[in-house]
Amino acid sequence: MKNLARSLTLVVVACTSEIGQEQERATAPSTFDQTHAVWTEVLAAHVSGGAFDYATLKKEPARLDAYLATLHAVTPDALASWTKSQRYAFWINAYNAHTIRKVLDNYPLKSIRDLDGLFGLSSVFDDAFIAMPALHPKGKNEKLSLNDIEHGILRADFQDARVHAAVNCASISCPNLRAEAFVAAKLDAQLDEQMRLFIADPTKNRFNEKKSRVSEIFKWFKDDFERDAKSVREYVARYASNANAQLVRDAKLEYLSYDWKLNDVAQ
């Protein structure tokens, strides 16, 4: 009798476990939204020209947090099953959304670099706060930093210098944050447009007959631009207007100082 009772108990436990697993599967999101629609809603409502309305979003961050939760729920197996363009868009959006969340957590502030460690001994971009440990690029099962995403994943896995016009570091000199999510279905067109808009922006790149003054981004990531177009000059010329393309090829090339002030809308 004791053996029978024990067997019945094991059956009940097994059935209960299976039911629990079924309920968990039923409540878990079945598919990831590759349109990143919620993120587009957040961006469309808060991007204004080259600035972002952090104050308004801080008051009602539910949509942003809901989007971040969908990113955090993605498993390694799910990510591996996606196309390269889907993974690329996913990580660009993840970088930008988490950057905004980082600012909101500390808002108001004058610069994201205010969140660096004492005396600048550590960088906010190395702060591991992103709850996606299963997707860590080095398999550490630890939270990710923004630098893990940018350098360990985006630059390492996709090797496309256009990413430098797509990721936004919440600063005035950054390429402007796009007012829509990056999506696989039109990713190439979006990235091309981002780079063209960035190079054409006179607050970030300036051209005349004597001197071409370009963003320090082209200096910091010189190797990426040279990989894709032999030289920084040729890369900038590729995405510049016809007039500016000739100027950048002929004029002296210099780099503008980077402005790390927060890309906040006027309050």
One domain for residues 134 and 24:
no
Residues 6 or more apart in contact with residue 183 via CB below 8 angstroms: 34, 35, 36, 89, 190
Neighbour tally for 28: CB within 10 Å: 9
One domain for residues 64 and 146:
yes
Report how far residue 60's alpha carbon sits from residue 90's, in angstroms, rounded to the nearest whole number. Answer: 23
What pLDDT shows up at residue 121? 86
Q: Does residue 264 lie within any of the structural domains? A: no
Q: What is the pLDDT of residues 104-145, one digit of tens each?
A: 999 999 999 999 998 888 999 999 999 999 999 999 999 999
Domain of 111 in residue numbering reads as: 31-255
Q: Does residue 46 lie within any of the structural domains? A: yes
One domain for residues 113 and 146:
yes
The 3-state DSSP class for residue 207 equals strand
Q: Does residue 4 lie within any of the structural domains? A: yes
Report how far residue 195's alpha carbon sits from residue 200's, in angstroms, rounded to the nearest whole number. Answer: 9
One domain for residues 7 and 49:
no
One domain for residues 79 and 203:
yes
One domain for residues 82 and 157:
yes
Q: Does residue 127 lie within any of the structural domains? A: yes
One domain for residues 88 and 198:
yes
One domain for residues 131 and 59:
yes
Q: Does residue 266 lie within any of the structural domains? A: no
* pTM assigned to the model: 0.88
Q: What is the pLDDT along the chain (267 residues), one digit of tens a residue?
A: 444 444 444 443 344 444 344 333 333 345 999 999 999 999 999 999 899 999 999 999 999 999 999 999 999 999 999 999 999 999 999 999 999 999 999 999 999 999 999 888 899 999 999 999 999 999 999 999 999 999 999 999 999 999 999 999 999 999 999 999 999 999 999 999 999 999 999 999 999 989 999 999 999 999 999 999 999 999 999 999 999 999 999 989 999 999 999 999 987
Q: Does residue 262 lie within any of the structural domains? A: no
What's the domain count of the chain? 2
What pLDDT shows up at residue 30? 54
What pLDDT shows up at residue 130? 98
Q: Does residue 162 lie within any of the structural domains? A: yes
